[in-house]
Amino acid sequence: MKTLDRKANYILSAILAGIAILVLFYMDSNRATYSYPLAILQRSAIYAVVAVAMNLLTGFTGLFSLGQAGFMAIGAYTVAILTIPVELRPDVYYINGIAEPLAQASAPLWAALVLGGLLAAFMGFLIGYPVLRLKSDYLAIATLGFSEIIRAFIAAPLLDRVTNGSYGLKSIPGFSSTLISFFVAALCIFLMVLVIRSSYGRAFKAIREDEVAAESMGINLFKHKQMAFVISCFFTGISGGMLAVFMRSIDSKTFQIGLTYDILLIVVLGGIGSITGSILGSFLMTAGREWLRFFDDPLVIGGFNVPLFRSGFRMVIFSLILMTVVLYYRKGLLGNREFSWNGIYAFLQRLSQRLKRQKVSKEVGKDD
């Protein structure tokens, strides 16, 4: 079958990226009209970062970690503490006051994001030592446990003067332009793609396929697992920081296990082991929740009030769709393949061939 050459591939990708940038730019300059779709797109972009980070672990290294919410919380709180304007801090911490060294500490957004990522990565480094020795479901439950411990510490009275305890942090300045969030997300994903395509990335995949074989090929198992875990934690932390800036106010309840499950379902929906799948998955999942919103409103057909339609129905439908994907399309949207123009091209070719064949068979039918 004919395939597209490299040049055509690049041109198509550049066109798509150009269109995306133009559309975003247009929406951003008319922010008043498009605030709702922009908010959905922003949340999707932030989730895409953490979904790709999770995929780096689950899909590419074969480590099933469920600690995302905890690492996002570290990033989010770091960014929040460093970016809340100094003059607003007494209002935010009006109950317990703020710890002395933090009262004046502030950083620009990019530095706070990097620092949040680094702190999450450092935490991942410490946690990785004990837990990465565990296998599959034990690893999952141990990382899940750690994420709950992180959350408990954030809410603990001990850290009231740092994290404001259960009151949470508010007055976090938002993105000055929504384009920044898309740019940061794209940059993070690009860096992760570079990691996956490097020799380290190939070592990760070898570990995923067979640990014993990988080890006998000279891959240091622990070192590479630790590396994948730390890198994943770094980007999870950054996306947590972006979530804090996006939401403007956070508390420890934002980072419950449910958040990790959401990310996991995005990864499953897009396909475990597919980066473009994760990105697509996060946009579909975030937008899907909004598209299904009409299920929550009462539906009246010809004066008859259809009984099922009321608040909450949307999420039931949504989880049913997800269960269908999990049970019947176990590979998700893209499996472990990546989105490619060649794939689409081949699909279109097959489609046109099928149409042609149908036409031919119809014409043959006419002759009879």
Q: x/- contact string, 184-213, with another protein (CB under 8 A)?
A: ----------------------------x-
**What does the DSSP 8-state code read for residue 296?**
G
Regarding 77 and contact with another protein (CB under 8 A), the answer is no
Query: In the chain, how many H helices and how many E strands?
Result: 16, 2
144 binds another protein (CB under 8 A): yes
- The least CB distance from residue 218 to another protein, in Å, is 18
Size of the site for another protein (CB under 8 A): 45
Q: What angle do CA 49, 226, 71 make, to 5 degrees?
A: 40
Q: Which amino acid is at 206?
A: A
If one asks whether residue 306 binds another protein (CB under 8 A), the answer comes out as no
Check residue 182 for interaction with another protein (CB under 8 A). Answer: no
The count of other CB atoms within 10 Å of the CB of residue 252 is: 22
Secondary structure of residue 300 in the 3-state scheme: strand
Rounded to the nearest 5 degrees, what angle is found at the Cα of 226, between the Cα atoms of 70 and 74? 20
3-class state of residue 115 by DSSP:
helix
35 forms part of the interface with another protein (CB under 8 A)? no
- Whole-number minimum distance, CB 153 to another protein, in Å? 7
3-state per-residue secondary structure call for 314-367: HHHHHHHHHHHHHHHCCCCCCCCCCCCHHHHHHHHHHHHHHHHHHHHHHHHHHH
> Rule CB under 8 A: is residue 334 a binding residue for another protein?
no
Stretch that binds another protein, among 6-14, 180-188, 319-327, 359-367 (CB under 8 A): 319-327
Which residue in 77, 146, 234, 246 binds another protein (CB under 8 A)?
146
**Beta strand extents in the chain (DSSP E only):** 299-301, 304-306
User: How many CA atoms lie less than 13 Å away from 155 in the CB half-sphere?
Assistant: 15
Binding segment for another protein (CB under 8 A), chosen from 17-25, 103-111, 127-135, 228-236, is 127-135
Q: Is 137 in the site for another protein (CB under 8 A)?
A: yes
Is 265 a binding residue for another protein by CB under 8 A? The answer is yes
Q: Residue 93: exposed, middle, or buried by beta-carbon count in 10 A (0-12, 13-18, 19+)? A: buried
User: Among 319, 352, 353, 358, which residue interacts with another protein (rule: CB under 8 A)?
Assistant: 319
Stretch that binds another protein, among 30-38, 112-120, 154-162, 360-368 (CB under 8 A): 154-162
Binding to another protein (CB under 8 A): which residues in 81-120? none
272 is a contact residue toward another protein (CB under 8 A)? yes
The minimum distance between CB 170 and another protein, in angstroms, equals: 21
Which of 97, 130, 173, 298 binds another protein (CB under 8 A)? It is 130
22 binds another protein (CB under 8 A): no
- Pull the structure tokens for residue 336: 């472990």
* CB burial readout 258-271, b (16+ within 10 A) else e: ebbebbbbbbbbbb
For another protein, the closer CB: 86 or 149: 149
Q: Which residues bind another protein (CB under 8 A)?
A: 58, 64, 130-131, 133-138, 140-142, 144-146, 148-149, 152-153, 155-157, 212, 257-258, 261, 264-265, 268, 272, 310-313, 315-316, 318-320, 322-323, 326-327, 330
